[in-house]
A and B are shown apart, each in its own frame.
Chain A
C-alpha cells in the first residue's frame, strides 16, 4: 500500500512538472511568433529606405525596435541556464527573424555585418539591472539569422539598380560575396539547416552578381544616358520616377 501512495504522489509531481514545462514552451512559441511578425514588419519598413528618407526610416525603425525588445524582455526569464537549450528550438524562429532585421538595419546604416556582441548588446539594452535575466544569442541562431539577410539585400540591390544606383548594388554584391565565403567555411556535414540556407544565399548572390554585371554592360554601352526604367521591371513606390511618356 505504501508504494501505491508513493506512486500517486510521484505522478502528481510529474503532472505538475510537465504542465509547467508545456506552459512555458507554449508561452515561448507565442512570443517567438509575435517577434517574427514584428521583425518582418521591421524588415519591410527598412527596405523602404531611399536617398532622401534615411533618417526618418531609422527613427521609425527605432520605435518599432522597442516593441520587439519588449517581447524579448518577457521571454528572457524563461531562458536562463540550461533552459536556454531546453527551449532553444521554440524561440529560434523569432530570434532568427529578429537577427535578420537587425543585420539588414546595420548594413543599411553602417555597411557592416552585425556581430553576435552587437545583437546581445541590443537584447540586453533594456536591462538596467545586471542581476536581471540576460539574453544569450547562440551561434546557430546568429548564423541562421544572418544568412537570411541575403534575400533582403538581394531585393534591395535590385531595386537600387532600378533607381539608378549601381554603386549601392555593387556594395551589396561585395558584402554578400564575403558573407557567402564566410558561410562556406562554417557549414559542413551535419548542419542541415545551415546548409539549406547556404544554398539560398548562393542563389541570392548569383542574382545580385548577374544584375551588377548587366548594369555594367548597360553603362558601357549607353554611358549615363540610359533610362533605367527601360530595363527594369521593378519600380519602387517611394522613388520619384520618370514616366514613360
Chain B
C-alpha cells in the first residue's frame, strides 16, 4: 500500500460511497427495523422480509414485472436485430438512420410519460381519437390491457433503438471474409445468419439483453405518469409498489422489498449472462 497511486482512487471511492454504499447500507438498516414516525425504531430482524414475501400485493407486482420484462426482451431484442440488419451500411442513409434511431434515446423517461399522458387523454388525446375510427373505445384509465399495452409500446418505441444501435455496431465489426466463406460453403441466408451473424453478435447481445432487462425491470416514470399505476393496480410494477410503500413511511417494508428487488435483478442478470455467454459455444457438448 506504499504506492501513492492509490490516492487517485479516493475521489471515485468518495463519490461511490455517497451515491451507492451509504444509501445501500441505509436501506439494509431500514429493512431490519420496525420504523414508525415519531418513535424510536425497533430492531425486528428479518420480520420485514417475511412480511414482504407473504404480501400478495408485492407478489402480484413482482409477477406483473416479470411478465412485462419478458415481453420487452422477447420483442425488443429480435426487433432490434432486425432493424440493425435492415439499416444501410454506407452512404447518406447511415447518418439519417442513426439520427432517426437516436432521437427516442435522447428523450428522458418522464418526458416520454408526459407525452404519453397527453396523447392518451380521453378528451383531447390523438390515440383515443385514432382508435375511435375503428370503433374501439381506447381508455387507459379504464381498460387494463390498454394501459399495459400502451406502456409496453412506449418502452418498445423508446428503447428498441438502443438494441438496434448496439447490434448495428456489432454487425459493422464482422469482417466480410466470414460472409464470403459462408457464401463459398453454400450456406443459405438463414444459416449465414444463424452461424455467422448471430454468434458474432453475441457480445453486444449480452450487453443489450442485460441493459434492457435491468432497465425494464425498474420501469417507473412511464406507468406513474400515464395512470399512476392503474387502472386499479394493473400497471403497478415492482418499483411503483416499493416507492409507494416508502412514500407512506413504511420504511422497514420498503427497505426489505428494495433488497429483495435488488437480489432478483442480480440473480436474473447473472443467469442471463451465463446463458448467453455459453449457449451454442460447443462448451457443454
Q: Do A and B belong to a common assembly?
A: no
- Interface on A for B, CB 8 Å cutoff? none
Q: Which residues of B contact A (CB under 8 A)?
A: none
